[in-house]
Amino acid sequence: MYLLGVDKKAMYLLGVDKETLYLIGVYNETLCLLGVDNETMYLLGVHNVTLYLFGVDDETLYFLGVDNKIMYLLGVDNETMYLLGVDNETMYLLGVYNVTLYLLGVDNETLYLLGVDDETLYLLGVDNETLYLLGVDNETMYLLGVDNETMYLLGVDNETMYLLGVDDETLYLLGVDNETLYLLGVDDETLYLLGVDNETLYLLGVDDETLYLLGVYNEILYLLGVDNETMYLLGVDDETLYLLGVDNETLYLLGVDMRPCTWLELMMRPCTCLELMMRPCTCLELIMRPFDDETMYLLGVDDETLYLLGVDNETLYLLEVDNETMYLLGVDNETMYLLGVDNETMYLLGVDDETLYLLGVDNETLYLLGVDDETLYLLGVDNETLYLLGVDDETLYLLGVYNEILYLLGVDNETMYLLGVDDETLYLLGVDNETLYLLGVDDETLYLVGVDDETLYLLGVDDETLYLLGVDNETMYLLGVDDETCTCLEFIMRPCTCLELMMRPCTCLELMMRPCTYLELIMRPCTCLEFIMKPCTCLELIMRPCTCLEMMMRPCTCLELIMRPCTCLDLMMRPYTLLELIMRPCTCFELIMRPCT
């Protein structure tokens, strides 16, 4: 089991005779993730141009197969979770006899994503109270159907795509008759998303009280217009981007009535909600709240202005209020700030000292949240320590419970814990002598799995040997012992000092390594599936336990920070011309708390 091999310029993660787990194999120019004879899990195969995730005869988990054009996610007899199948053209997410969660299925009372026999794409089907995503019998795509109170996503009879239809009070997403894309239609009070007749993109139209998303008249992009109380998204005359204009055409982003005054929230909630995010390079989707005096602007003109794109000094601000300024990007000193308050400034990227901050206080330390001595650090400058949460002795805790403390990094003995009990040792799964270590304290040894003499090491200190798997005398090294010794463990020091940590409830450990600049540590429960594809035209499918489906399509200019339930931290850094800020309560920055529903 290698971390890096030099002979054939191959980087391996695990190799055992013919049962070999590769991370990168150069032989035949193939990038493999796991090979076990014909039971092989590949990450990329160039020889037959096949991308597999796991292959086991007919019980096969594929990621993508080109020979028979089949992309499976998991196949196990009839209890199968597929991602795409072409033989019977069936895609399942999880199949359990009579209690089946499919991503593609055909039975009834089944949650489908795509079915081929009756050519029906369901999201959840229960008799006549069915939540559909696409049906082809009547050529209708439903998002939620309840008798005649149905929320549709696409109807083909009249070639209309509905998001919510109730008699004549219908929420459309696409209408083809007049080639109009509607988002909500109610008689003449219609919420449009795209109109072709006058080439106008509307978001809500109500006589003269019209909410536009793009209006060609005067080349103004509106988001909401109500007499002189207009919420604009972009105005061309004065080159002003408004989010809410009142009297003096002030753009408000937040309100005190419904949400705390410092939050930007983009949330789509319970079971009946579908969140479709399509973000070309020039598109920004925000959810606004009313606000009183302390205004958060999206783009204003005076002095207390929150810019999304400023013209004078070409500065991109996210919030500016006196000296309490939250910047998104500044061009003068080429600094991208995320929040500045006196000397308690939260930076996203600083160029002077070339430091990436999330929140800096006094010593320009990167904090995620600082409260007196109970400070949540993401990166410390003094001792160059990476903290997730520091208390008193600046120890990084992810979850601390008396005698049962979950640490991520400790400073005193320089130990990184994931879960400590009694002796404050980091365990991922500790059971008597069959203990899974992430890092030990006594001999300062980093373990991944320890079982008596059959111990899986990640790094040893005494003999300075990096092990990935040790079994009696049949020990696999990562970089030899003598002259080719690995004396350090590198988690990530990529350009821009970007670190992505995703923590999940401590029963599953997944390491996703992005091309050159990303390290993602994902710890998920066994029932959690996440696909994160971040090339230029990325599609991110985050599927939460059983009932939650989130589709995010982000071209290559998106930045999204997603933090999952309570113990989750997901930092996704993308080229910084488009920012999606999703704020939750509890003084969290860019947190998306998505319960299962």
pLDDT digits (tens, 9 = 90+) for 180-197: 344 433 333 334 443 333
Confidence at 419, pLDDT banded by 50, 70, 90: very low
Can you tell me the mean pLDDT for 433-452? 38
Edge to edge, the sheet with strand 426-431 lists: 426-431, 434-439, 446-451, 456-459
* CA neighbor of 289 nearest in space, from 301, 276, 298, 280: 298
For 545, other C-beta atoms within 10 Å of its C-beta total 13
* CA angle, residues 459, 461, 462, in degrees to nearest 5: 135
Confidence at 52, pLDDT banded by 50, 70, 90: very low
Tokens representing 587?
Answer: 């003084």
pLDDT of residue 354: 34
Task: Decide if 46 contacts 29 (C-beta within 8 A).
Answer: yes
Q: Among the listed ranges 270-284, 311-325, 416-430, 453-467, which one has the minimum average pLDDT value?
A: 270-284
Task: Decide if 432 contacts 444 (C-beta within 8 A).
Answer: no
Confidence at 485, pLDDT banded by 50, 70, 90: very low
pLDDT of residue 225: 36
pLDDT of residue 165: 39
* CA angle, residues 165, 105, 270, in degrees to nearest 5: 45
For 509, other C-beta atoms within 10 Å of its C-beta total 16
pLDDT of residue 587: 21
* CA neighbor of 182 nearest in space, from 167, 157, 164: 164
Distance between CA atoms of residues 114 and 99, nearest Å: 17
For 89, other C-beta atoms within 10 Å of its C-beta total 15
Report yes or no on whether pTM surpasses 0.75: no
Can you tell me the mean pLDDT for 300-308? 35
Listed in sequence order, the residues at least 6 apart from 380 whose beta carbon sits closer than 8 Å to its beta carbon are 365, 366, 386, 387, 390, 394
With tokens 């988002």, the residue in question is 183
Cα radius of gyration rounded to whole Å, the chain: 27
Tens-place pLDDT, residues 363-389: 333 343 333 333 333 333 333 333 333
Distances (CA, A) of 94 to 55, 98, 454: 17, 12, 34
Q: What percent of the chain has pLDDT over 90?
A: 0
DSSP string, 422-487: SS--EEEEEETTEEEEEE-STT--EEEEEETTS-EEEE-SSS--EEEEEETTEEEEEE-SSSS---
Tens-place pLDDT, residues 61-118: 444 444 444 444 444 433 344 444 434 444 443 333 223 333 333 333 344 443 333 3
So where are the chain's domains? Answer: 11-136, 390-479
Tokens representing 137?
Answer: 């019998």
For 542, other C-beta atoms within 10 Å of its C-beta total 19
pLDDT of residue 68: 42
Q: What are phi and psi of 29, to 5 degrees?
A: 55, 50
Tens-place pLDDT, residues 536-558: 111 222 222 211 112 122 221 11
Tokens representing 175?
Answer: 């209408």
Distance between CA atoms of residues 352 and 361, nearest Å: 16
* CA neighbor of 579 nearest in space, from 362, 336, 333: 336
Can you tell me the mean pLDDT for 391-401? 36
Buried b (16+ CB within 10 A) or exposed e, 344-368: ebbbbbbeeeebbbbbbbeebbbbb
Can you tell me the mean pLDDT for 20-49? 44
pLDDT of residue 130: 41
User: Which segment, 132-146, 390-404, 507-521, is predicted with the most confidence on average?
Assistant: 132-146
Listed in sequence order, the residues at least 6 apart from 582 whose beta carbon sits closer than 8 Å to its beta carbon are 264, 265, 266, 267, 560, 561, 562, 590, 591, 592
Please give the torsion angle defined by the CA atoms of residues 31, 34, 36 and 40, in that order, rounded to the nearest 10 degrees: -70
DSSP string, 263-321: --B----TTT---EEE--TT----B-----SS---SS-SSSS---SS-SSS--EEEEEE
pLDDT of residue 155: 41
